[in-house]
Structure 1
Amino acid sequence: MTAARGGGGKGRHRRPGDQILRSSFFLMASTVTTAGLGFLFWVLVARYYSPSQVGLATSLISATSLISYLSLFGLNSTLIRFPASDLARNGQISQALALVTVTSCGVGAAYLAGLPLYGAKLLFMRDHPLLAAAFVLCCACAALNQLTDSVFISARQPEYNVIVDGLIQGLTKLALPVLLVGLGAVGIVGAAGGGYVVAVLASLLLMHRRLGFRFDFRVRGTRLREQLTYSVANYISSLLNLAPLLAFPLIVLQYLGAAAAGYYYVAFQIAGMLNSVAYSTGEALFAEASYDPSRFGALLRRSAAIITAIQLPAAAAVVFGSGLVLRLFGGTYASHAGPALQVLAVGALGVALNSWTSFGLKLTQQMRALVLSNIVYAVVAIALALLWAHRGLVWVGWAWGVGNVASGLVGLIPLVFVRHRTPGRGPLPGPGQPRAVEVQA
Structure 2
Amino acid sequence: MTGTVRLRGSRRDAADGGAGAARHATAPAEAKNRGSGDGPTGDSGEDSLFRNAYALMLSTGVSAALGLGFWLIAARHYSEEAVGQGSAAIAAQRMLASITATTLSGAVVRYVPRAGRATGPLVLRLYLFSTAVVTVACGVFLLTLDLWGPSYAPLGSLSAGIFFTASAVGWALLTLQDGVLTGLRKAFWVPVGNAVFSLGKLVLLVLLAAAVPVLGVFVSWAAAIVLSVLPLGWLVFRRLIPQQARADRDREPPGMREIGRFIAGDSVGAFFSLIMISLLPVMVAVRFDAAHNAFFYTAYTVGGTMEFMAINMASSLTAHASHSPDSLAEGVRGALRRMVLLLVPVVLVLVVLAPLILAPFGQGYQENGSTVLRLLAAAALPRVAVELYIGVLRVQGRTGMLAVLQGAMCVLVLGSAAVLLGPYGISGAGYAVLGAMTLMAVACVPGLRATLKGRAPAEHPRAAARVKEREEDGYGTNWARESAYLRGAHDSVTP
TM-score, normalised by the number of residues in structure 1: 0.89
Partner residue, 1:308: 340
How far is 1:252 from its partner? 2.1
Partner residue, 1:394: 427
Once the two structures are superposed, the pairs formed by residues 24-423 of structure 1 within 5 Å of their partners are 24-72=53-101, 74-83=103-112, 84-125=114-155, 127-165=156-194, 167-181=195-209, 182-213=211-242, 221=253, 223-390=255-422, 391-417=424-450, 422=455
Task: Tell me how far apart the structure 2 counterparts of residues 119 and 239 of structure 1 sit (CA, whole Å).
Answer: 24
Q: In 1, are the aligned partners of 2:171 and 2:225 still within 8 Å (CA)?
A: yes
Q: In 1, are the aligned partners of 2:329 and 2:454 still within 8 Å (CA)?
A: no
Q: In 2, are the aligned partners of 1:363 and 1:428 still within 8 Å (CA)?
A: no
- Give 3-state SS (helix, strand or coil) of 2:200's partner: helix
Task: Tell me how far apart the structure 1 counterparts of residues 307 and 119 of structure 2 sit (CA, whole Å).
Answer: 31
How far is 1:242 from its partner? 1.9
Partner residue, 2:486: none
Q: In 2, are the aligned partners of 1:104 and 1:140 still within 8 Å (CA)?
A: yes
Q: In 2, are the aligned partners of 1:389 and 1:395 still within 8 Å (CA)?
A: yes
How far is 1:430 from its partner? 4.3
Task: Tell me how far apart the structure 2 counterparts of residues 99 and 86 of structure 1 sit (CA, whole Å).
Answer: 21
Q: How many residues align?
A: 427
Task: Tell me how far apart the structure 2 counterparts of residues 191 and 78 of structure 1 sit (CA, whole Å).
Answer: 31
Task: Tell me how far apart the structure 1 counterparts of residues 406 and 376 of structure 2 sit (CA, whole Å).
Answer: 19
Q: In 2, are the aligned partners of 1:68 and 1:139 still within 8 Å (CA)?
A: yes
* Percent of pairs with identical residues: 21
- Paired letter, 1:52: E
- Give 3-state SS (helix, strand or coil) of 2:256's partner: coil
The structure showing larger relative contact order (alpha-carbon pairs under 8 Å, at least 6 residues apart) is: 2
How far is 1:212 from its partner? 4.4
CA separation of 1:24/1:221 partners in 2, compared to 1, >3 Å: closer, same or farther? closer
CA separation of 1:340/1:423 partners in 2, compared to 1, >3 Å: closer, same or farther? closer
Task: Tell me how far apart the structure 1 counterparts of residues 40 and 407 of structure 2 sit (CA, whole Å).
Answer: 37
Gaps of 5+ in 1: 436-441
Gaps of 5+ in 2: 1-9, 24-38, 246-251, 472-495
CA separation of 1:421/1:273 partners in 2, compared to 1, >3 Å: closer, same or farther? closer
Partner residue, 2:490: none
CA separation of 1:115/1:351 partners in 2, compared to 1, >3 Å: closer, same or farther? farther
How far is 1:295 from its partner? 0.7
What do residues 176-205 of structure 1 show as CA deviations (whole Å, max 9, x unaligned)?
A: 112222323411111111122221102112
How far is 1:277 from its partner? 2.2
TM-score, normalised by the number of residues in structure 2: 0.80
Task: Tell me how far apart the structure 2 counterparts of residues 352 and 164 of structure 1 sit (CA, whole Å).
Answer: 25
CA separation of 1:142/1:371 partners in 2, compared to 1, >3 Å: closer, same or farther? same
User: Which deviates further from its counterpart, 299-308 or 271-280?
Assistant: 271-280
- Segments ≥4 residues shifted beyond 6 Å: 1-4, 423-428
How far is 1:414 from its partner? 4.3
Larger Rg: 2
CA separation of 1:409/1:362 partners in 2, compared to 1, >3 Å: closer, same or farther? farther
- Paired letter, 1:409: V
CA RMSD of aligned residues (A): 2.8
Task: Tell me how far apart the structure 2 counterparts of residues 333 and 192 of structure 1 sit (CA, whole Å).
Answer: 21
- Give 3-state SS (helix, strand or coil) of 1:71's partner: helix
- Paired letter, 2:65: G
